[in-house]
Structure 1
Amino acid sequence: MDYQIARHNMVENQVRANKVTDPLVIAAMEEVPRELFLPESKRGIAYTDEDIAIGNGRYAIEPMVIARLMQIGEIAQTDVALIVGAGYGYASALVSRVAETVVAVESDPVIAQAAEKIMQQNNYDNVIVVEGDAVTGYAKQSPYNIIMFDGAVAEVPQAILAQLAEGGRLLAVVREEGKVGIARLYEREHGVIGHRDLFDAYVPYLPGFEPIESFVF
Structure 2
Amino acid sequence: MSETLATPADSFAALRETMVERQIRTFDVSDLAVQARMKAVPREIFVDGAYASLAYSDARVLVTGAAPRELTAPLILGRLLKEAVVRDSDRALIVGGASGYAAALVAGLAAEVVSLDEDAALTAKAQANFARLGLANAKSVTGPLGAGAPAQKPFNLIVVDGVVTGPLDALGDQLAEGGRMVAIVGDAPGARTGMATLFVRTGAVVSSRGLFSASAAPLPTLAARPAFVF
- Separation in 2 of the partners of 1:111 and 1:83? 13
| C-alpha distance after superposition, 1:52-106 (max 9, x if no partner) | 2323252110011111111111111000000001000000000111000001111
Task: State how 1:17-166 maps to structure 2 within 5 Å.
Answer: 17-55=26-64, 56-166=67-177
Hey, what's the Cα distance between the residues in 2 that align with 1:119 and 1:207? 25
Tell me what 1:215 maps to.
none
State the alpha-carbon separation in 2 of the partners of residues 74 and 46 from structure 1.
24
Identity %: 34
Contact 2:163 2:192 in 1 (8 A): no
Query: Which string of whole-angstrom CA distances, capped at 9 and with x for unpartnered residues, describes residues 106-165 of structure 1?
Result: 110111111111111220111011111222110111010000011111134211110011
Q: Which runs of 4+ in 1 moved over 2 A?
A: 177-180
Distance 1:179 1:152, change over 3 A: closer
User: Quick one: structure 1 residues 166 and 77, their matched pair in 2 at CA, closer, same or farther if it must change by over 3 Å?
Assistant: same
Contact 2:46/2:63 (<8 A) preserved: no
* Cα RMSD for the two superposed structures: 1.4
- Please, what TM-score do these two structures have when normalized by structure 2? 0.88
Q: How many residues align?
A: 212
Separation in 2, partners of 1:206, 1:179: 9
Q: Which has the larger radius of gyration?
A: 2
CA displacement 1:19-78 (0-9 Å, x = unmatched): 111111111111111101111111111011133232325211001111111111111100
What TM-score results when the alignment is normalised by the length of structure 1?
0.93
